[in-house]
Structure 1
Amino acid sequence: MHPTQALATVRSLARAYQAFASYSETFVRQYDLTPAQFDVVATLGNTPGMTMGEIGEKTLITKGTLTGVVDRLEKKELVTREVPPENRRSVVVRLTPKGQQVFETVFPAHVDDIHQHLSSLDASELELLQVLLSRIQKAF
């Protein structure tokens, strides 16, 4: 492979990500959520709750940013923070009933929307894309 081919590939990958991120942000903002807030709500959906550390591991949100995201979700009454009696140094974040409703509305709508946008690719193309993206990730 020639270095310019590698650079062109990385540019295409970056442009595809930017297009998705921009579109996704516009989509979730319809529901008065930021992308990071949506990520937390989607991660907590259908779970009994998670510690801040677990949320950080499952999302792409840094620890410093995560605290502010959870603070704002708490102000919107979408999550609560609870200190479990068995481990008072830990904080568990859970969706409130209102947060669960938001999850049940926004998450399936977002998944359906992504599905529609990727419907021009067949199953084998999507599988190949996942393999190639995984290889690119491991290369770095």
Structure 2
Amino acid sequence: MYHLLLVKELVQAYQAFEMHSGAHIKEMGLTTTQFDIVATLGNQPPMTCKELGEKTLVSKGTMTGVLERLEAKGLIEKFMNANDGRSYKIGLSKSGDRLFKRVFPEHVEYLGKSIGKLSKKEIEHAVTVLREVKTIFK
């Protein structure tokens, strides 16, 4: 049962991070899911829904609604997929790209102020341990 200590700490660390990160993203006028999609599409060529789902933390069931809201806000555009006429690719619109260029660096800096309280060695150790934990579940 000792392993439950690790589970508890992982969950609490994730929840603390989500609260801290999510509050800042909300201040910027986005949901965490919208930010994830905008950040993933930023500086990238358009991608299919499947590719976007694989590169984000957004579940397939949530993706459609979020994309519809981002499209309604004029932040993304859909393009015909030249490789598969049955699907389309998604990319940032010009206003979406402007938003990305404003919010992404701002959020990276915001997170850096907190994570920067750890030394480089502590960060490297945490990354190593988290990668080891991740491999347990693959």
Shorter-chain TM range is: over 0.9
Give the aligned partner of residue 56 of structure 1: 53
TM-score (structure 2 length as normaliser): 0.94
| Residue deviations 1:94-130 (CA, integer Å, cap 9, x gap) | 1011100110111101111111101121112111111
Correspondence 1:1-140 to 2 at 5 A: 3-4=1-2, 6-140=3-137
Structure 1 vs Structure 2 CA RMSD: 1.1
In structure 2, the gaps of 5 or more residues are none
Counterparts in 2 of 1:85 and 1:127: CA distance versus 1, 3 Å: same
Could you tell me which runs of 5 or more consecutive residues in structure 1 were left unpaired when the two chains were aligned: none
How many pairs align? 137
The TM-score with structure 1 as length reference comes to: 0.93
Q: Distance in 1 between matches of 2:7 and 2:81?
A: 45
Deviations 1:121-140 (A, max 9, x none): 11121111111001111112
Give every structure 1 segment of 4 or more consecutive aligned residues whose post-TM-superposition deviation is greater than 6 Å. Answer: none
Identical aligned residues as a percent = 40
Q: Which string of whole-angstrom CA distances, capped at 9 and with x for unpartnered residues, describes residues 40-68 of structure 1?
A: 00000001211111100001111111111
- Separation in 2 of the partners of 1:53 and 1:82? 14
